[in-house]
């Protein structure tokens, strides 16, 4: 748990308000209470209010409370700041002149000079964050990993002075960071997502650009047009050393992968480092981009190429990101619940053939558009959730066989029967893939909850010759 006593000392005895009591909110409550600060908190969920009260918070509905006496309002990343309109609590805090910030900003203000690596992007940021942490820790550099992955920012252990803080950062979190400036900022890619929160792609890109505030190094994927524009903008600003990463084309300065081989051109001429195609926990070209980013971050942290690559080989993988859950009679069951948009699902579909594809949930803008090139890899789709009607129409229009499974348990059962029955057919059915291309909130608490339920269902399936 992060010590906030230095912030507490500057509050002049004024209380702090915390709005939204998920992992980050509850960690914020606990950290401030431990620092001797009076905390008032609220969440619409009664269970979370009870948890906050047990940590020592006063529970008050902040939508109707007088906010003028608070030193700051710490809000959960999911609370709208501008689009479609500011939440009433945010608007009232702004009117009262109360500072609004998030837990990552609080960590930044008390980390006492620890080097920070921040990773953002539409897709790939969780794997890249975990991979960087793994490579550093495997080589004796203490790395505390958190943020939008695993532990909340204020719940991590502060590493020693020569250690590193590695944070996955969503655009929502970056919106709440008025001064946060990591020594190494990493941006992976940018495709349409969260536009209901940011208004349009320009607003989304602007939120991501916050990671490059101030001096330091910038690592930027350049395989999509919005990210190339960001690269140019950061380069022209001249405040950061800028490195490009690509899995499409060679780059002048940075790292790239060509034909499955990693090249290092951080210092000028390209130098072949080695193959990245055989890492079983990092399948697919999209993971080659993640390796490029982690490689540069580790090089900038003082590690050499051989040391980095040896550590990458031992990376264990992340749950819910193309995680091999089980193999039954030669059929793989893969949990890719983290794929909450079409672009993320594309990165899974391209890795397999003869797919029994479990898809659906709470749809994002654009639905399944962009997945057309991968439909010849799908044997049959099993459609669930609020997106079911629209997705079935889309699949009809693209000649894809499907089943209206409605719920995940039925989809797992339906896909299992189809996959096991197809084993004797040409090509067979090589994989049952949960890659929903949707948010989870229609039927589940989170993508983790969805993935955990998938795992339980798969582990309960019979081993027999046929389902």
| Contacts with 99 (C-beta within 8 Å, 6 or more apart), sequence order | 71, 72, 73
Read out DSSP for 100-155? EE-HHHHHHHHSTT-EEEEEE-SSSHHHHHHHHHHHHHHTT--EEEEESSSS-GGG
Give which of 297, 14, 352 is closest to 183, Cα–Cα.
297
Query: What does each C-alpha distance from 328 to 124, 244, 366 come to in angstroms?
Result: 28, 41, 34
Q: Count other C-beta atoms under 10 Å from residue 314's C-beta.
A: 11
Q: Compute the distance between CA of residue 435 and CA of residue 322 in angstroms, rounded to an integer.
A: 8
Give which of 187, 208, 212 is closest to 296, Cα–Cα.
187
| Residue 87 tokens, joined | 């939440």
- Does 40 show up as a binding residue in the annotation? no
Q: Compute the distance between CA of residue 154 and CA of residue 104 in angstroms, rounded to an integer.
A: 7
Look-up of token digits 């400036």: 181
Q: Compute the distance between CA of residue 296 and CA of residue 344 in angstroms, rounded to an integer.
A: 23
Report helix angle 285-300 to 125-138, nearest 10.
Answer: 40
- Does 179 show up as a binding residue in the annotation? no
- Does 290 show up as a binding residue in the annotation? no
Q: Compute the distance between CA of residue 26 and CA of residue 51 in angstroms, rounded to an integer.
A: 8
| Residue 130 tokens, joined | 């975990």
| Contacts with 202 (C-beta within 8 Å, 6 or more apart), sequence order | none
- Does 125 show up as a binding residue in the annotation? yes
CA torsion 54-58-62-68 (nearest 10°) is -150
Q: Compute the distance between CA of residue 23 and CA of residue 104 in angstroms, rounded to an integer.
A: 13
- Does 124 show up as a binding residue in the annotation? yes
- Does 123 show up as a binding residue in the annotation? yes
| Contacts with 377 (C-beta within 8 Å, 6 or more apart), sequence order | 349, 350, 352, 353, 354, 355
Helix (H), strand (E), coil (C) string for 284-334 = CHHHHHHHHHHHHHHHHCCCCHHHHHHHHHCCCCCCCCCEEEEEECCEEEE
Give yes or no for a contact between 234 and 212, defined as CB atoms under 8 angstroms apart.
yes
Can you say which residues are annotated as belonging to the binding site for ATP?
121-127
Q: Enumerate the known binding-site residues.
A: 121-127
């Amino acid at each position: 748990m992060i010590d906030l006593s230095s912030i507490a000392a500057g509050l002049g005895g004024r209380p702090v308000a915390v709005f939204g009591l998920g992992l980050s909110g509850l960690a914020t409550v606990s950290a401030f209470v431990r620092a001797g600060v009076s905390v008032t908190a609220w969440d619409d969920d009664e269970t979370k209010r009870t948890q906050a009260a047990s940590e020592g918070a006063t529970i008050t509905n902040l939508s109707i409370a007088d906010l003028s006496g608070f030193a700051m309002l710490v809000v959960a990343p999911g609370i709208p700041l501008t689009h479609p309109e500011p939440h009433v609590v945010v608007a009232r805090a702004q009117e009262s002149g109360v500072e609004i910030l998030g837990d990552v900003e609080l960590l930044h203000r008390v980390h006492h000079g620890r080097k920070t690596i921040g990773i953002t992007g539409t897709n790939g940021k969780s794997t890249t964050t975990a991979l960087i942490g793994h490579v550093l820790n495997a080589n004796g550099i203490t790395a505390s990993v958190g943020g939008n992955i695993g532990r909340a920012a204020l719940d991590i252990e502060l590493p020693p002075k020569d250690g590193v803080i590695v944070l996955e950062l969503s655009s929502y979190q970056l919106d709440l960071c008025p001064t946060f400036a990591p020594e190494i900022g990493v941006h992976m890619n940018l495709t349409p997502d969260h536009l209901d929160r940011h208004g349009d792609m320009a607003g989304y890109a602007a939120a991501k650009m916050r990671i490059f505030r101030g001096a330091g190094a910038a690592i930027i994927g350049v395989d999509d047009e919005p990210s190339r524009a960001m690269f140019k903008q950061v380069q022209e600003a001249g405040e950061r050393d800028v490195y490009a990463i690509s899995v499409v084309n060679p780059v002048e300065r940075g790292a790239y992968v060509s034909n499955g081989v990693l090249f290092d051109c951080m210092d000028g001429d390209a130098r072949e480092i080695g193959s990245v195609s055989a890492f079983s926990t990092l399948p697919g070209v999209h993971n080659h981009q993640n390796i490029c980013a982690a490689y540069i971050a580790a090089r900038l942290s003082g590690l050499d190429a051989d040391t980095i690559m040896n550590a990458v080989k031992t990376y264990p993988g992340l749950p819910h990101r193309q995680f091999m859950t089980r193999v039954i009679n030669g059929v793989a069951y893969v949990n890719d619940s983290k794929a909450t948009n079409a672009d993320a699902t594309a990165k899974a579909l391209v890795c397999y053939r003869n797919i029994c594809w479990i898809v659906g949930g709470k749809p994002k803008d654009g639905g399944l558009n962009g997945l057309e090139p991968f439909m010849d890899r799908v044997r049959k789709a099993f459609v669930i959730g609020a997106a079911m009607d629209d997705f079935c129409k889309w699949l009809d229009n693209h000649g894809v066989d499907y089943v209206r499974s409605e719920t995940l348990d039925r989809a797992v059962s339906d896909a299992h029967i189809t996959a096991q029955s197809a084993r004797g057919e040409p090509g067979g059915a090589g994989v049952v893939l949960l890659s929903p291309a949707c948010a989870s909130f229609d039927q589940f608490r989170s993508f983790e909850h969805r993935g955990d339920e998938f795992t339980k269902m798969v582990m309960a399936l019979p081993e027999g010759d046929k389902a």
